[in-house]
Amino acid sequence: MKDKKFGATEVREIIIPGMRGCVTWYGDIVILHITDDKRVPIAMVVINLVTTYIEKLLVTDSYRRKGLATSLLLLVEEIAKEAGLDRVTATTDLSNQATLGLFRKVGYSELIAFEKRLDDMS
Ligand SMILES: CC(C)(COP(=O)(O)OP(=O)(O)OC[C@H]1O[C@@H](n2cnc3c(N)ncnc32)[C@H](O)[C@@H]1OP(=O)(O)O)[C@@H](O)C(=O)NCCC(=O)NCCS
């Protein structure tokens, strides 16, 4: 990562068409969230600028399929570029059709990862 441009807990207001949003830096962790007109959070994404990894991405049920996650991922790209990253990574389960569709639509390429569950070993 290039020289960090932002200090801890720096907050920046962002405009998402018709909505209010906010970006908060907690050191290397960045949280973007969008609120409705009553300032209730309806969508958020968390990215770790050290690992380049999207830690969390969530849109409230009733606001899904309106392009909010797409807007958040595009903002994540801007922030990652500003921070000098050359990629953004994310994982999801193969059964999560919404997330697979989203990442494909936003231009992410697919990698294969392996996992071994240790919690159900008898
Ligand atoms: C995945 C999630 C963040 C998508 O949020 P969203 O705001 O509804 O997504 P968008 O409106 O930006 O959708 C963009 C594209 O993703 C795909 N997509 C979104 N939801 C989908 C669904 N239920 N089924 C299939 N494809 C879907 C579509 O291609 C969609 O484009 P389209 O609406 O023009 O067809 C949301 O469903 C969610 O919060 N899910 C639960 C949490 C989760 O699984 N998070 C991801 C962990 S990595």
Task: Quickly state the pLDDT bin for 10 (edges 50, 70, 90).
Answer: low
What are the domain boundaries of the chain?
10-91
If one counts every other C-beta atom within 10 angstroms of the C-beta of residue 44, the result is: 20
pTM for this structure? 0.90
CA nearest 32: which of 51, 4, 54, 1? 54
Looking at domain 10-91, its CATH superfamily turns out to be: Gcn5-related N-acetyltransferase (GNAT) (3.40.630.30)
Q: Does the Cβ of 69 fall within 6 Å of ligand 1?
A: yes
If one counts every other C-beta atom within 10 angstroms of the C-beta of residue 22, the result is: 16
Closest residue to atom 32 of ligand 1, CA basis: 65
CA nearest 75: which of 57, 62, 60? 57
pLDDT above 90 coverage of the chain, percent: 66
Q: Does the Cβ of 97 fall within 6 Å of ligand 1?
A: yes
pLDDT at 11: 62
